[in-house]
Amino acid sequence: MHLYLLSSRVSFSPPVFWHASSSATLPFPAPATAKPLPPPSSRPAKSLKLEAAIPPSNSKCALECPHFQSCSGCTHELDLDRPSVVDEAAEFFSKLGVSDFTFDSSRLWEWRCRAKLAVRGSSATPLIGLYEEGTHNVVDIPHCKGLIKNLDWIVAQFVIGITALRILPYDEDQGTGDLRYVQMAVTTHNTSLPVSDRYKNGKVQVSLVWNTRNETSPSSEKLTALAQFLWRNGGPKSNENIIHSVWANFQTSSNNIIFGNRWRHLLGETDLWEHVGGIDVSLAPSSFGQANTRAFDSLLWKLQKYVPRRSSVADLYAGAGVIGLSVAASRKCRSVKCVEVNKESKLSFEKTVERLPKSLDGSISWHQADTSAEPLSWLMGSEVVIVDPPRKGLDAPLVDALKTISFRNLKPMPSTDGSQVKEEKRPWVLRARESSVYVRSSTTSDGPLVLPQTLIYISCGWESFKEDCKALLSTNKWRLEHAHGFNFFPGTQSIEVLAVFQRGKVANLKKKKLGKKKKRS
């Protein structure tokens, strides 16, 4: 993935920042307290229904950012609570017969819990931020209004530490330097606090992307020194007590991929926990995590209502299985199988499962597999299919399988619970089975000839979703029944869409008369 996809789409406030010339031995002050927003309830607020025209946003929803013309993070300055794409979405769904489209504007400032920032410049004047639009020139984004305050504090500590320890920022042209990127992830897991306080007091998992192959390189002493500097100023024995843990990632590639394959835990706790959708979730620094935790939590609560209790579920593009496991816990599903191509998500899945309620008696599994290879093997046996693809949308073979799936074209296939007797020879099934995780239970999963009746599509790419939606509806195998939007990235023309499809074509408006026909006399 590229930096502009992972670290962009952020809103900012006027800068107030400590410069590198500040003494590294001085205690760094806590960030200024922002003007508090009205305290939210523990459950997501009601969404705004778009059946009527929405009044224009007031000035309180303006960006007012001095970086707007240079930074690539934001695309519009006004109406943070209602980007213009919302009106386009409402019209699109209305034409498809969905009149109850809703949009949840969510939190508009201090919403970002996860950020990946580039480190460039020099030891004397390090630059930590996003790329300037259309370039690889890094723009400093001090006191970003989108970042939770503790993340902003960590960035300031980096500036001081890099200068004091003479850490060399990465030079893309030469391929030299020490520190390439930093990733920061906030945990808001403390459920004993109100939601607003969880964001304010959340601790930060810090990851340093180091320009070496491993920890034995000559510059490893600088890596250790920077980690200890951060830990001394922000760790549990400091006055701030902000840093949860420090990790290192080793990357020497010259392409735009941020992370390498090698990780090392340096300081602090090993497990970062988040609480979303009613469950505790383990997130390793290598795992994908949503940048806007609160908006994601709102989406999960909404999604759960569309999953019938005691149903069988397939969660495709599942990552660490957060969506599937939250549904398993809330809807008491008979079975949930999570399918994900990234093997790094397996460990987080296993740790999350350990914290699920002991009362659950459904079967739960995780499989490392590409859903574009034999997608029917993952669709069969599930009444509900949940898809959360990347920005490009669904893989073409999966779209085709959803469009054409029927009892006619199904061949009996062994179940994925590991209990089949017949010897399996297909390589993609064998690979998935080798890396699978099974949580056994007394409940048996549905047979392989059960077909999906509900398709729940979570989209982060509006243009690709429209294409997939039209393709799914083109064969009359699916009908669109509900659609909701979520403001995952305030300050951008991007919305997260939750769409619910049901199997079968749209019913005829003319009701058919029931009962036997009267015999003619």
3-state helix, strand, coil in the chain (%, to 5): 25, 20, 55
Among 426, 417, 341, 349, which Cα is nearest to 381's? 417
> How is residue 373 written in tokens?
């290879």
Find where tokens 């920890």 sit. 215
Quick one: CA dihedral 144, 149, 151, 155, positive or negative? positive
498's enclosing H/E stretch is strand 496-503
Residues 6+ apart with CB under 8 A from 221: none
**What is the four-CA torsion angle of 147, 150, 154, 155, rounded to 10 degrees?**
20
Which residues neighbour 117 within 8 Å (Cβ) at sequence distance 6 or greater? Answer: 7, 128, 129, 130, 141, 155, 181, 182, 183, 184
The answer on whether 340 is annotated among ligand-binding residues is yes
From the candidates 74, 113, 333, 460, which is the catalytic residue?
Answer: 460
In whole angstroms, give the CA distance from residue 442 to residue 211. Answer: 50
Q: For this structure, is 333 an active site residue?
A: no
Q: CA 152, CA 158: separation in Å to the nearest integer?
A: 10
Note whether 92 and 462 are within 8 A (CB): no
Q: Is 215 assigned a ligand-binding role in the annotation?
A: no
Task: Give the C-alpha separation, 140 to 294, whole Å.
Answer: 26
What does residue 32 show for φ and ψ, rounded to 5 degrees?
-60, 145
Query: Coil, helix or strand for 505?
Result: coil
Q: What is the DSSP letter of 69?
A: T
Binding residues for S-adenosyl-L-methionine: 290, 317, 340, 388
Catalytic residues, by residue number, are 460
